[in-house]
Amino acid sequence: MKIARFETFWIQMRKNKPLNESRKTGQTSGTKMAFCSIGYLVKQVEISRHLFLSQDEEALVRAAASMHMDFVNKNANILEINFNGSLIQYEVLDYLEFTSDRKRMSVVVRDCSSNKIILLSKGADEAILPCAYAGFQTKTFYEAVDQYAQMGLRTFCLAWRELNEVEYHDWSLMFKEANSTLVDREWRVAEVCQRLEQDLEILGVAAIEDRLQDGVPEAIETLRKAGINFWMLTGDKQNTAIQIALSCNFVSPEPKGQLLLINGKTEDEVCRNLERVLLTMRITKAEPKDVAFVIDGWALEIALKNYRKAFTELAILSRTAICCRVTPSQKAQLVELLKSCDYRTLAIGDGGNDVRMIQQADIGVGISGREGLQAARAADYSIGKFRFLTRLILVHGRYSYNRTAFLSQYSFYKSLLICFIQIFFSFVSGVSGTSLFNSVSLMAYNVFYTSVPVLVSVLDKDLSEKTVMQHPQILFYCQAGRLLNPTTFAGWFGRALFHAIVVFAITMHSYAFEKSEMEEVSMVALSGCVWLQAFVVTLETNSFTILQHVAIWGNLVVFYIINWIVSALPRSGMYTIMYRLCRQPAYWNTMFLIVAAGMGPVLALKYFRYTYRSSKINILQQAERLGGPILSLGNIEPQPRTLDDTDDRSPLSISQSKNGRSSVFEPLLSDSPSAVRRSFGPAPMARNE
C-alpha cells in the first residue's frame, strides 16, 4: 500500500550535460526528461489534461509544464506540445507497457518536423541504468539515486535513444507478432521489448516525494497497542522504504531501533543473512517496532524457493518486517505464507498492484483516492484515508465480533430450548412421537417471537466508541476469543438445558394434573419460553435505545396479540385457548415462577462475576456508568511465547512447539483461562511501485 500521498508533489531532476551533438538536438536532458513524461501521458490523457493514471504521472507532467513544455492536444496518434511558445508535433508509434517484471515502460514517437524516430524509457534504476550503452558513465546516476533514496524519495530513471527506419520496422513486425500470439504472450512481448530497450542514453534521475497522510504514525502506534503486527510490502528501493518506515513510526530510529538486513543475489549470501537474522530474532525481547528485518525482492524470491521453512519461522518470530522491491505476486505469496502460520491477515492497499495481495488476505481493505478504485473495488472494505483503519478495526470490527458472537450463540440457545422441551415431553408421552407444540407455533417461535428482539442487537455497544479508541488493548479479548469459544458455547448450552427444565417442570406441575387440554399446556410452555427469551436478551444487552425496548417488550405484546387472533378462529385448533389462559391467575403465576426460577441463578452468576471476577472490560463499563476517570487497566499486553530448545536447533530449521503447533505471540490474558489464540495477524501494508 502507498502509506500516504498528498495532493501536491515536487520533483527533483538531475540534469546532465547537453546531449551529444551527433543527436542533432539542442534540448538539455532536463527538458528531454520533461518531454519523456509527457510521452507517457499520451495514452492516459484522452479527454482532459487533468486526467491521470497515477499521481506519479501527474507530478511529472506538472514538472514538465514548469519547464515550459505543455501538453496541448492529441489528435489520433499526433501529440501536440507547446515548447517555449512554439508548437511541436510528435506521432506516437508504439507503447511498451509497464510490467512488474520489466519495471519500466517506454514509448516510441516520431518527430513530425525532422521525421526522426525516438525511443523514450522510464523505470526503476535497476531496470534502466544497466541498459545504458557501452562506455556510458552511470556512477553519477547511481549516486543520485542513493542520495534521493536516503531522503525518502521515490526514484526512477529516464533514458532515450534514436532509432533508424529499418531497425524500427523490423522490431515493429516482431512486436505485433508477439502481441498476437496465444501462447506465452507476456513472455514473448517482454523479450521483444528487451531487444529495443538497450544501448540507451541516460537522461537523468527523477525523485517524487510520497508524503504521509495525516494521522498515519498515530494510527500505526494505536494498532500496535491492540496487538496487531505490521509488515510493509513495497516496490520502492530499500533506503526509500526504510526512510518511509521511520517517518510513519513503523520502526524505531537508531540507537533504539535495530534493522536486520537480508540481502544477497546468491543462495549462499541469502542463507548467511537469513541465519544471522533468525538467530537474532530467537533471542530478542525488544518491543515490536524496535527490531525488524528488511528483505528485498531478489533475496525474498531465493528465501521462499530454497529456505521456506526458515523464512516461515522468521515470519512467526517477527512482529515487524519491511519487504522492498517486491512484485505484486510476491506480495500475495507473503500473505499466503502468513496465513499458513495460522495468522489472520489484513491487507491494505490503494493501487492496482495491490489487488492480488488484497484478495489473498483474510480481510482486504482498499484505500480509494487519486490512485484509482482498483484496490477499493477488489477489497472487502473501502476507506478514504489510512487513519480510518483504526476506527474500522477497533470500533466497527470489535462491535461486529461482539454482536456476531452473541447472535450466533443465542440462535443455538433458543433452538436448543425448544428441542430440550420436546425431548422431555417425549418421555412423558411414552416416546410416542407426539409433539408438544403444533407446527404453527414452532414456525412462529423462530420467525416472529424470538427473531425480532435479537435483530436489534446490531445496535448494542458494550463500550462507547470514545472508550474503545482510548483503550485499544481491549481488542486482545476479541483475539483471545473471549466471547465465542467452546467454553462460552457450553455456557449457552447449559443455559438452554436449565431453562428447558424450568419451563417443562413448572408447566407440567401447574397444568398437567388439572385435566387441562394439551393445547393449553403447549401454550403455557411456549409463553414461558418467550418470556425467558425477552429477559435473556435484556440481560445480555449492554446499551439500550428506544428501538431495543420496543423490539424486546413490544415483541411480548405482539405475541399475545397474534395468539388472541388465532384463538378467535374456530378452525385454528387453538380456539379460545389464549382467552381462557389470560383470565386464569394461575397462568400469570406460572409465568412469574418461570422467569424467577430461570433468571435468578443467571443473575446471581452474573453478579458474582462482575463483582469478584470482573474483567478489564467490566471495569471500563463501570467507569462509564459512574462517569469517573479510568486510571489504569493494568497489564493486558500480549505475552510472547518463546520457541523452545533454541540452542539445539540447526541454524536454518523450522521449530515446532511441544504441542506440535508453531509458537507465536499470543494474547495471554491474566484473567482468561481460554486465551490460547494467536493475535490478529500481521497486517501487510503495501506501497505502490
Strands 201-209 and 230-234: unpaired
Q: What burial class does residue 309 get, using C-beta atoms within 10 Å of its C-beta: 0-12 exposed, 13-18 middle, 19+ buried?
A: exposed
Among 30-44, 129-143, 291-305, 611-625, the least confident range = 30-44
Summarize the confidence of residues 297-303 as an average pLDDT: 92
Q: Which residue has the cell 458494550?
A: 462
- How large is the average pLDDT for residues 578-599? 91
The rounded percent of the chain whose pLDDT value lies above 90 is 31
CA angle 518, 524, 530 (to 5 degrees): 135
| Each residue's pLDDT tens digit, 391-448 | 999 999 999 999 999 999 999 999 999 999 999 999 888 888 788 888 888 888 888 8
Q: Distance between CA atoms of 367 and 54, rounded to whole angstroms?
A: 14
CB 487 within 8 A of CB 235: no
Cα–Cα distance measured from residue 258 to residue 37, given in angstroms and rounded to the nearest whole number: 38
410: number of Cβ within 10 Å: 20
Are 113 and 90 in contact by the 8 Å Cβ rule? The answer is no
pLDDT beyond 80 at 11: no
Residue 40 has pLDDT above 80, yes or no: no
pTM score, whole prediction: 0.77
Kind of pairing between the strands at 201-209 and 11-13: antiparallel
The answer, yes or no, to whether residue 17 has pLDDT greater than 90, is no
* Among 386-390, 451-455, 592-596, the least confident range: 451-455
> Measured in Å, how far apart are the chain's first and last C-alpha atoms?
9
Place of cell 515487524: 320
| 369 in Cβ contact with 5 (< 8 Å) | yes
Q: Coil, strand or helix: which one is 92?
A: strand
Residues 327, 334: contact at Cβ < 8 Å? no
The fraction of the chain above a pLDDT of 70, given in percent, is 82
393 within 8 A of 228, measured Cβ to Cβ: yes
Residue 533 neighbours by CB distance under 10 Å:
25
The per-residue pLDDT of the chain, averaged, comes to 80
Examine the pLDDT at 653 and tell me if it is beyond 60. no
371: helix, strand or coil? coil
Where residue 667 falls among pLDDT bands split at 50, 70, 90?
Answer: very low
> What span, in angstroms and rounded, lies between the C-alpha atoms of 215 and 210?
15
pLDDT interval class at 615 (50, 70, 90)? confident
pLDDT of residue 630: 58
* Helix 398-428 × helix 486-507 angle, to 10°: 40
| Secondary structure (DSSP) of 22-55 | GG-----HHHHHHHHHHHHHTTT-SS-TT--SSH
pLDDT(646) > 70: no
**pLDDT of 154 higher than 80:** yes
> Region 352-368: what's the mean pLDDT?
91
Which of 7-21, 505-519, 634-648 is the least confident region?
A: 7-21
Residue closest to 492 by CA, chosen among 555, 415, 568, 409 = 409
Report whether pLDDT(677) > 70. Answer: no
Ramachandran bin of 571, using left for φ above 0, alpha for ψ from -120 to 50, beta for the remaining angles: alpha
DSSP code string of 173-194 = HHHHHHHH-SSSHHHHHHHHHH
Q: Which among 449, 619, 423 has a CA at the least distance from the CA of 536?
A: 449
Position 301 pLDDT exceeds 60: yes
Q: What is the mean pLDDT of residues 313-324?
A: 91
* Alpha-carbon gap, residue 457 to 541, rounded angstroms: 7
Q: Which of 90-104, 510-524, 535-549 has the lowest mean pLDDT?
A: 510-524
Instruction: Name every residue whose Cβ is closer than 8 Å to that of residue 624 and which is 6 or more positions away in sequence.
Output: 463, 464, 467
pLDDT at 616 over 90: no
pLDDT at 26 over 60: no
Q: How many CB atoms lie within 10 A of CB 318?
A: 22
Name the band, by pLDDT with cuts 50, 70 and 90, for residue 629.
Answer: low
Q: 462 and 620 in contact (C-beta within 8 Å)?
A: no
Q: Which of 47-51, 96-100, 523-527 has the lowest mean pLDDT?
A: 47-51
Most confident of 155-169, 245-259, 559-573: 155-169
The pLDDT confidence band at residue 501, using thresholds 50, 70 and 90, is very high
pLDDT at 499 over 60: yes
Residue 635's pLDDT band (boundaries 50, 70, 90)? low
Q: How far apart are CA 39 and CA 45, in angstroms?
A: 10
- Tell which residue, 209, 205, 150, 157, has the closest CA to residue 2: 209
CA-to-CA distance for 294 and 232, rounded, in angstroms?
10
Q: Where are the alpha helices (DSSP H) in 456-570?
A: 465-470, 475-479, 486-507, 518-540, 546-567
Among 189-198, 370-379, 514-523, 666-675, the range of highest mean pLDDT: 189-198
Mean pLDDT is lowest, of 346-350, 401-405, 637-641, 646-650, for 646-650
Flag whether pLDDT at 503 surpasses 80.
yes
CA 641 – CA 663 distance, rounded (Å): 6
Whether the ω angle into residue 255 lies within 30 degrees of 0, i.e. cis, is yes
Mean pLDDT confidence for 602-612: 90
Q: How far apart are CA 12 and CA 116, in angstroms?
A: 29
Looking at residue 627, its pLDDT comes to 74
Instruction: Work out the pLDDT band at 12, boundaries 50, 70, 90.
Output: very low
CA-based nearest residue to 132, from 205, 61, 189, 64: 205
Dihedral angle computed from the Cα positions of residues 365, 370, 374 and 376, in that order, rounded to the nearest 10 degrees: 30
Per-residue confidence at 650, pLDDT binned at 50, 70, 90?
very low
Q: Among candidates 466, 489, 462, which has minimal Cα distance to 400? A: 462
Say how far apart CA 67 and CA 322 lie, in whole Å: 37
Residue 87: strand pairing partners: 82
Q: What is the pLDDT confidence band of residue 30, given thresholds at 50, 70 and 90? A: very low
Q: Give the pLDDT confidence of 224-261 residue by residue, as tens digits.
A: 999 899 999 988 888 888 988 988 888 888 777 788 99
Region 368-374: mean pLDDT is 75
